[in-house]
Structure 1
Amino acid sequence: MVTYALNINEFSTNDFALIAIHTVLSEYQLAYLLNKHLQIKFSKASYNLDFTEKKNQASYTVYEYTNTELDYDWFLIANVCKSTLKTASTNLFIESDSISRLIPEKKKVDFFLKIEGGFDFDYIVKTIEIINRVPQIITSYEVEVESLKSKDFLIF
């Protein structure tokens, strides 16, 4: 596994907008619908966001799209990772499901849409309006990045 170093002091949270999405869709279905309604082209990234904490491993799916015309980078990130833990105890194997979240303080959010670039407030509002018109999406709204304790997990 490749290790990257990042100087957190060089990062400014004003560089991206974050939209929370509530839906029961899987990530590829959501990416397809966002492509269709927002006229973008999400594709599955060649990487996932992988975290290891104690014995738990979590891998969050990432879809990405780069708009070279407007110089925007879009990322669709799953907030929920479901995994099965197997533990051995005297002749029995016990399986337990584990659910971890990328941003724990937003437990009910299923996906985050991260938009990087020189966008304005109206662009984000129009994007949210279009997303909310998709019938399979329950709701979406902008999240104040500065209010998140675990915003560092969104740096990649």
Structure 2
Amino acid sequence: MQLLTFDLEEDDYSLVGIHSTEEDYRLAFLLNQHLNTKLTRYKNNLDFKNLDAEFPLFEFKDENSYINYYLINNKHKQFVQNQENPGLFGGNYSTIYYLIPEKKNIDFFLKIEGCYRESFIKNLIDKLNALNQIITSYAIDTTTLKSKDHLIF
């Protein structure tokens, strides 16, 4: 008798990295125009107990195709005012936090749940790369990410 096994390590989503200088709300608007999505700002930001950062989240749940899209900013810049040493520039400095620290060069992630066809992801990336406001986009192998647990929400 053959045993049926399940691979619990297998990811149930696809991930696309996006390089763009646009603000997150503007990028969501552009994706809505060109991908036929309706990304809207989620009521809560992604936050983690071990980080002092919050990451804006945009989501669209396509009820017709059962595909969920999530646009997530990879960077959070926090400005801190140093009262002890005001210095020449007022003592302000910023700290940058990353959602996925091993991918610091990526500005945004597009997480896609419900479609695992390689042709669908390739077509999506081609559409993203056709936009002038996107420098480049590409698929990311989630098995290589150390902090992929940040993408579980």
Using the size of structure 1 for normalisation, the TM-score is 0.86
Amino acid at match of 1:63: F
Q: How large is the RMSD of aligned CA atoms in angstroms?
A: 2.0
Q: Which whole-Å CA distance do the structure 1 matches of 2:85 and 2:112 have between them?
A: 50
Deviations 1:57-87 (A, max 9, x none): 1010100000111101100000000111233
Structure 1 counterpart of 2:80? 85
Which among 15, 33, 41 is matched to residue 30 of structure 2? Answer: 33
Unaligned runs of 5+ in 2: 1-6
Contact 2:85–2:91 under 8 Å retained in 1: no
Bigger strand share? 1
Query: Aligned equivalents of 2:137 and 2:86: distance in 1?
Result: 47
- Please identify the structure whose Cα radius of gyration is greater: 2
Aligned partner of 1:122 in structure 2 is 119
Aligned to 1:101: 98
User: Aligned residue for 2:56?
Assistant: 61
Q: Distance between the aligned counterparts of 2:53 and 2:26, measured in 1?
A: 21
8 Å contact from structure 1 (residues 13, 145) kept in 2: no
Provide the rounded CA distance (Å) in 1 between the counterparts of 2:60 and 2:8.
Answer: 21
**1:16-31 → structure 2 map (5 Å cutoff):** 16-31=13-28
Q: Give the residue type in structure 1 aligned to 2:23.
A: S
Inter-partner Cα distance in structure 2 for 1:91 and 1:67:
50
Change (3 A) 1:82 1:13: farther
Runs of 4+ aligned structure 1 residues displaced above 6 Å come to 90-93
Contact conserved, 2:125 with 2:138, CA < 8 A, in 1?
yes
Aligned residue pair count: 145
Shift of 1:90: 7.4
Opposite residue 139 of structure 1, the aligned amino acid is: T
Give the whole-Å Cα distance in 2 for the aligned partners of 1:65 and 1:57.
26
| Equivalent position to 1:148, from 138, 145, 148 | 145
Give the gaps of 5 or more residues in structure 1.
1-9
Q: Structure 1 vs Structure 2: percent identity of aligned residues?
A: 38
Query: Letter of the aligned partner of 1:89 in structure 2?
Result: E
CA pair 11-35 structure 1, distance change in 2 beyond 3 A:
farther
